[in-house]
Amino acid sequence: MPENRAYLEKDEAENLVRAGFDAAEKDRSGSFMQADDTLLFQKAFHEDIEVMGIDEALRRVPDAPAYYGKAFAALGREYPRETKGGYYIRIKAGKTVLVPVQACLYLKKADFKQKVHNLIIAEPGSKVYIITGCTAHQASREAYHLGISEFFVGKGAYVNFTMIHSWTKDVSVEPKSIALVEDDGVFVSNYICLDPVKHIAMYPTAVLGERSTAHFSSLMVAHDGSTQDIGSRVVLKGRSSSAEIVSRAVSLGGTVIARGHLKAEAPDTKAHLECRGLIVHEQGVIHAIPELETGFREVDMSHEAAIGRISKEEIEYLCARGVSKERAQSLIIRGFVDTNILSLPELLKKEIDRLADQTLTSGF
């Protein structure tokens, strides 16, 4: 088992913390870390899960090759084949692992193009929480990250996946992911990006079986010079399936394109899309693009979108109580970026709240 922690320097610990990675592994059931194209370590602390590099999984796990590319093939989509590394996480049938599995994909070299392919398999009746942190060293100028992820949620299984992006201002990022959710399955996707980044483009898709559920939620802060084109798509293919897409976007001078697409391909389905944006600096841009699509009458689909600014009255109220204008603005932004929209276990919620407090109440 690779164990190459020496590749990381002491001053990189803060980067990992900001990406939700617990180096002590105290409250984790497994760990995986890859820096650039080097696998640093992989561990499983729970007998009911498997955690390893994708290359090892394709060699050792008999059915792993059958899953590789299967989700993209199901939608008739192509995916980049020239990848190196990535993680393989599997939870055994009928088993529940409440302590999160963690994975970290790290950019360290300048101009490096990191291209990974991940497989996450939740066998029927299983339950798992996963937190993935993606981050970059300050030296990784003009670097690029491509993350291909395929999720397979078996019948009656539950997957709660949280992705935290903590990049630098000149890194470009392009995640591509598809989740296939079988009957009675649940797929929860939480996305957080609070730090500067040059460009992000992502549009994950979930395909639902009968009585299955998908919930996508995202918290985004676009700093000056950043462009975040972020959305989610759910295809309600099975009868009585349901979906929800919820996003909060703040522009501090950057551009946010918040997309959402709900497509009902079966009757008796329910779906809701909600997007709220807050423009703090005048040069900021938020573009909300909600889409609802169906050919059936027996569906319940809705959407709401709102974009606004911090009111003068809110600032004056806090300033009258001895809070500086900059601090007041930070507190209001923190309140808007409400982590309660994320479907998190209490352990992870505390970590995300602490991260958001440190980032958003320190002033901009």
Q: What is the pLDDT of residues 183-219, one digit of tens each?
A: 999 999 999 999 999 999 999 999 999 999 999 999 9
pLDDT tens per residue across span 321-344: 888 888 888 888 888 888 888 888
DSSP 140-163: -TT-EEEEEEEEEE-TT-EEEEEE
Residue 10 sits at φ, ψ, to 5 deg, of -60, -35
The confidence score (pLDDT) of residue 299 equals 96
DSSP three-state, residue 354: helix
**Three-state secondary structure call for residue 295:** coil
**Which residues make Cβ contacts (< 8 Å) with residue 8, sequence separation at least 6?**
16, 35, 40
Residue among 227, 302, 295, 292 nearest 257 (CA): 227
Same domain, 302 and 315: no
Q: Are residues 230 and 195 both part of a single domain?
A: yes
Q: If you average pLDDT over residues 107-136, what whole number do you get? A: 96
- pLDDT given at position 352: 87
- Residues 230, 133: one domain? yes
Residue 2: the pLDDT is: 52
Same-domain check for residues 211 and 230 = yes
Q: Same domain, yes or no, for 290 and 318?
A: no
H helices present in the chain, as ranges: 13-18, 54-60, 64-67, 70-74, 312-319, 325-336, 346-360
The stretch 107-115 carries a mean pLDDT of: 95
- The per-residue pLDDT for range 293-313, each reduced to its tens digit, is 999 999 999 999 999 988 888
pLDDT band at 1 (very low <50, low <70, confident <90, very high): very low
**Pair (77, 211) in one structural domain:** yes
**Total structural domains in the chain?**
2
Which stretches within 21-69 are classed as H helix? 54-60, 64-67
108 and 228 in a single domain? The answer is: yes
**pLDDT for residue 170 is more than 60:** yes
Whether residue 35 sits in one domain with residue 144: yes
Looking at the fold, whether 266 and 295 belong to one and the same domain comes out as yes
Together in a domain, 156 and 178: yes
Question: What's the count of helices (H) and strands (E) in the chain, helices before strands?
Answer: 7, 20
In the prediction, which pLDDT does 117 show?
98
Q: Name the percent of the chain lying above pLDDT 70.
A: 95
The answer on 350 and 238 residing in a single domain is: no
Pairwise CA distance, residues 195 & 250, whole Å: 11
Report d(CA 9, CA 145) in Å as an integer.
Answer: 21
Q: What is the pLDDT of residue 18?
A: 76
Query: Structure pTM?
Result: 0.93
Distance CA 130, CA 160 (A): 6
**With the CA atoms of 186, 335, 226 and 142 taken in that order, what torsion angle do they form, in degrees rounded to the nearest 10?**
-70
Distance CA 135, CA 237 (A): 35
Tell me, yes or no, whether 248 and 182 share the same domain: yes
Half-sphere exposure of 8 (CA within 13 A, CB side): 23
Span 5-23, pLDDT tens digits? 555 666 676 778 778 888 8
Structural domain for 354, as ranges:
311-364
